[in-house]
Amino acid sequence: MTAIRSVVLGCGSYLPERVLTNAELAARIDTSDDWIVQRTGIRQRHIAADDEFTSHLAIKAALAALAHAQIDAQTIDLIVLATSTPDNTFPATAVAVQHALGINHGVAFDLQAVCSGFVFALTTADNFLRAGAHKRALVIGAETFSRLLDWSDRGTCVLFGDGAGAVVLEAQPHAGTIADPGMLTTHLRSDGRHKSKLFVDGGPGSTKTVGHLRMEGREVFKHAVGMITDVIVDAFNATGLTADDINWFIPHQANKRIIDASAHKLHIAPQKVVLTVDQHGNTSAASIPLALSVAVKDGRVKKGDLVLFEAMGGGFTWGSALVRW
């Protein structure tokens, strides 16, 4: 029997030039490099220039992914862009990317699931491809979270940064076994009871302002590990695979302590965990493809490897995706 699989053809990423270190933050607010590194693992973050928008980061990541996949942009007929920091309230940032790539066919839209955005976008594109509606997809996570931060709130401003990452997916016929390449299983969840634990206190429909990010850090931490491990167990149950079968665990890069605790609970060996949060902080929907691009570029992720993605974020939303490279 053959089935359509969404196979990853390539990936790419982009970080803005400007690096903001913990030491620079400590000179501005009551914090320290020690506190930030100990509680989060973050050493620096990248900040977009004033005239650099989310779409600009997304375009650079998309071009890198297309180059890595060695395919022509004209063969893309689906763009799903995950962001909570669009250039404008509308139109979707995805159409700006589509236009910049010279694509006038197919469909491009944004998707908003905050830090889980990339896993939600990957799942959405996978379903479009497996339905036979589209052939090649660009899945992008791109954020300028620096624009949402209250720079006087030390409990949040030290955690986040800007960046973008992208993957190219292609619908291919395969036997459909767990040994075949592509997306093996995806699992998404949300629970709005937690919506006030991590939110932005503005919006076009309420305050008519952009607003600032607000977070009950301890509450987020308390729920994160349980939610993350639940959806990963769902992925294992759906495929019959176990933590031992995983080659690379590429989690949402929010906080090293959350990542370590999740890996420990799941019995995933520390050497299988891809960690880049120290270099760019929490870049929300961009963090997974940023980490993935590093691990692909440095040769860790190889053809045939089993790669596990997970994310959790505002809403709360959370999800997992298991991919054969």
What residues are annotated to the active site? 115, 252, 282
Tokens matching residue 322: 């298991």
- Smallest distance from ligand ACO to CB 306, Å: 23
Q: x/- string (CB under 6 A) for ligand ACO, residues 39-58?
A: xx------------------
Instruction: Name which of residues 9 to 38 contact ligand ACO (CB under 6 A).
Output: 31, 35-36
Using left for φ > 0, alpha for ψ between -120 and 50, and beta otherwise, residue 315 falls in left
- 232 counts as binding ligand ACO under rule CB under 6 A: no
**From the list 217, 233, 265, 325, which residue makes contact with ligand ACO (rule: CB under 6 A)?**
217
Q: How many CB atoms lie within 10 A of CB 145?
A: 30
Strands 213-215 and 198-200: antiparallel
**From the list 67, 74, 155, 304, which residue makes contact with ligand ACO (rule: CB under 6 A)?**
155
Kindly indicate which of the ranges 14-22, 81-89, 188-196, 217-225 contains the residues binding ligand ACO, using the contact rule CB under 6 A.
217-225
DSSP of 149-214, one letter per residue? --TT-HHHHTTB-EEEEEEEEEEEEE---TTSSEEEEEEEEE-GGGTTSEEES--TTTTSS---EE
- 189 counts as binding ligand ACO under rule CB under 6 A: no
Q: Which residue is nearest to ligand ACO (CB)?
A: 217
Instruction: Name which of residues 283 to 322 contact ligand ACO (CB under 6 A).
Output: 312-313
Comparing CB distances to ligand ACO, the nearer of 8 and 259 is 259
- 260 counts as binding ligand ACO under rule CB under 6 A: no
- 325 counts as binding ligand ACO under rule CB under 6 A: no
- At 192, give phi and psi (nearest 5°): -70, -5
Kindly indicate which of the ranges 10-18, 50-58, 98-106, 252-260 contains the residues binding ligand ACO, using the contact rule CB under 6 A.
252-260
Comparing CB distances to ligand ACO, the nearer of 109 and 221 is 221
Task: List strand residue ranges (DSSP E) for the chain, in order.
Answer: 3-14, 18-21, 44-47, 78-82, 107-111, 136-144, 162-174, 182-190, 198-200, 213-215, 248-251, 306-313, 317-324
- Smallest distance from ligand ACO to CB 168, Å: 25
Kindly indicate which of the ranges 68-76, 151-159, 168-176, 236-244 contains the residues binding ligand ACO, using the contact rule CB under 6 A.
151-159
Residue type, 130: R
**From the list 63, 73, 135, 221, which residue makes contact with ligand ACO (rule: CB under 6 A)?**
221
- Smallest distance from ligand ACO to CB 147, Å: 16
What is the distance, to the nearest Å, from the Cα of residue 170 to the centroid of all Cα atoms in its chain? 19
Strands 136-144 and 107-111: unpaired
**From the list 183, 220, 235, 308, which residue makes contact with ligand ACO (rule: CB under 6 A)?**
220
Instruction: Name which of residues 66 to 125 contact ligand ACO (CB under 6 A).
Output: 115
For residues 82 and 285, give the distance between their C-alpha atoms in angstroms, rounded to a whole number.
6
- 137 counts as binding ligand ACO under rule CB under 6 A: no
- Smallest distance from ligand ACO to CB 173, Å: 36
- Smallest distance from ligand ACO to CB 284, Å: 7
Rg (CA), the chain: 18
Residue type, 2: T
Strands 3-14 and 18-21: unpaired
Residue 284: DSSP 8-state: G
Question: Which residue has 């030290």 as its token pair?
Answer: 158
For residues 285 and 80, give the distance between their C-alpha atoms in angstroms, rounded to a whole number.
12
Comparing CB distances to ligand ACO, the nearer of 40 and 144 is 40
Instruction: Point out which residues bind ligand ACO (CB under 6 A).
Output: 31, 35-36, 39-40, 115, 154-155, 158-159, 198, 215, 217-218, 220-221, 224, 252, 254-255, 258, 282, 312-313
